[in-house]
Structure 1
Amino acid sequence: MTFSIVAYDVKSASWGVAVASKFLAVGAVVPWGRAGAGAVATQAAANLSYGPEGLDLLAEGLPAADVIERLTAADDGRDSRQVGVVDAAGRGATYTGPECMDWAGGLAGDGFAMQGNILAGPGVVPAMAEAWRDRADEPFAHRLLQSLTAGDQTGGDRRGRQSAALRVWRAGAAYGGQLDLAINLRVDDHRTPVEELGRLLDLHDLYFGTPDPSTLLPLEGALADEVTTLLTRLGHETLDAWAGTENFEERLVPGKLDPVVLEQLRNSLP
């Protein structure tokens, strides 16, 4: 009833899961991860304990294939389970129980594990793998989304569409820098959930993306005067006050101005 990708990005030291399903709020069930340890997708007749127990095993340093072996060996219902794991070193492994409903199966390789069940056909997972490999230069979260989109466009869950989710873990990457959950986006009930997930990811980039140092503008002279005028017309005394109201505080840089923030500030005028 679900298709997913679990992956590791060596460039950003991030682990992520993207998933879609004809199932309400699939993001509450399938994706699990921990920065520095790895990530897990548990699905089909999902055993939710595979998530936390798998992460504990990964944190002990077990390879992905060994984690799956340990989880399934202890589970009498393993024949109806499906699970994908990527470990701290980026090794991927996937398991599909023989009683999972057709079409069901998966692919795993260096840095990824992809799996699905009750799919439109055997072409869904290979399409996801092709998209993943073809988009190696894209930011990690967008690469995950493109892989999920490829699966969706190849037929995805043969029962239809309902929900999707995207989660990424990276050390200290959560809002405020205290926790590790860098991205946590869910579409719980929607006619086109993967498309909606893409819209949410674009918004996440807008509000929480890291400013490009090479594009930052000195906040002085004519630009400073323009910003002051714009803020006054919008009823704000400082840029910090406006950014806090509009949720752009993560893009503020002392003495500089992110062009993304400038564009949003200019577009805020009625």
Structure 2
Amino acid sequence: MTFSIAARCTRTGQFGVAVTSSSPAVAARCAHVRAGVGAVCSQNVTDPRLGSRLLDLLGAGSSATSAVREVVVTEPCVEYRQLTAVGAQGPGAVYSGARALGRYAEAVGPDAVAAGNLLSGPGVPQAMLDAFATDPAAPLGRRLVDALAAGAAAGGEEGPVRSAGLLVADDVAWPVTDLRVDWTDGDPVAELATLWTVWEPQADAYVRRALAPGDAPSYGVPGDE
């Protein structure tokens, strides 16, 4: 019911995830990022606890491959899960359980991992990685949104998707980008792209308002001087 990409930006050190699904509020359950540590997805028949566990393993020094392997060999019901992970160094990793839904596929690139289930065709994850690699100088959020759009253009899910989300972690304790389309009868990937165009010019200012409000730019609303 889902296709996603987890990635790092070697230029900025950021980590991010973009995900879309036919089920509601997909990012709330499937997308996980942690500053300085990594980006992971726990999807298919989703267990959100596995996302936190993968990040904990990455934070403790495990490679993405070792972290995914540790979860696979120790978690019950893992055959229902699809997992991706990207850490601070080394290649990403992916696992698709034997009971993943419908047609499932995965692809691993130098700095990103894409995977999906109930896909229209096996080329969707690779199309996402190809789009992600197109402009390494672009902001990570934009690259992830473009990758998600490329997956949709390559066929995406067999049925319509209804929700989408984008998470980006930088060097603060909270995600510097957390955008959600939790349900729509329209195109959640396109709506997410619109949200990103609104958010991108303001993202740094919101971090500055948190860390140093006296030096941060105004909101531009009445009474804000």
Q: TM-score when scaled to structure 1?
A: 0.74
Identity among equivalent positions (%) equals: 33
Question: By how many angstroms is 1:245 displaced?
Answer: 4.5
- CA RMSD, Structure 1 to Structure 2 (Å): 2.0
- Residue 200 of structure 1 is aligned with which of 170, 195, 201? 195
> Which residue of the partner structure matches residue 138 of structure 1?
138
Change (3 A) 1:167 1:17: same
Change (3 A) 1:246 1:83: farther
Letter of the 1:201 partner, please give it: W
What secondary structure does 1:161 align onto? coil
Question: By how many angstroms is 1:136 displaced?
Answer: 2.0
* Structure 1 residues 137-176: aligned runs within 5 Å: 137-172=137-172
> Which residue of the partner structure matches residue 85 of structure 1?
85
Question: By how many angstroms is 1:167 displaced?
Answer: 0.2
Superposed CA offset, 1:83-124 (max 9, x none): 100012153111111121231021113211110000111121
* Inter-partner Cα distance in structure 2 for 1:90 and 1:148: 23
2:180 is the alignment partner of 1:186: yes
**Alpha carbons 2:63, 2:87 under 8 Å: kept:** yes
- Residue 244 of structure 1 is aligned with which of 188, 213, 219? 219
Q: Which has the higher contact order (CA 8 A, sep 6+)?
A: 2
Change (3 A) 1:246 1:198: farther
Letter of the 1:184 partner, please give it: D
**Alpha carbons 2:14, 2:169 under 8 Å: kept:** yes
* Inter-partner Cα distance in structure 1 for 2:189 and 2:219: 30
What secondary structure does 1:134 align onto? coil
2:21 is the alignment partner of 1:21: yes
Change (3 A) 1:64 1:182: same
**Alpha carbons 1:8, 1:90 under 8 Å: kept:** no
**Larger deviation: 70-79 or 22-31?**
70-79
* Inter-partner Cα distance in structure 2 for 1:87 and 1:17: 12
What secondary structure does 2:76 align onto? coil
> Which residue of the partner structure matches residue 102 of structure 1?
102
* Inter-partner Cα distance in structure 2 for 1:25 and 1:90: 31
Runs of 4+ off more than 4 Å? none
**Alpha carbons 2:108, 2:114 under 8 Å: kept:** yes
> Which residue of the partner structure matches residue 64 of structure 2?
64
Letter of the 1:93 partner, please give it: A
Q: Size of the alignment, in residue pairs?
A: 213
**Alpha carbons 1:7, 1:90 under 8 Å: kept:** no
Letter of the 1:185 partner, please give it: L
* Inter-partner Cα distance in structure 2 for 1:246 and 1:184: 23
Letter of the 2:31 partner, please give it: P
**Alpha carbons 1:65, 1:92 under 8 Å: kept:** yes
Consecutive unaligned residues in structure 1, runs of 5 or more: 173-178, 211-239, 253-270
Consecutive unaligned residues in structure 2, runs of 5 or more: 206-214
Letter of the 1:50 partner, please give it: L
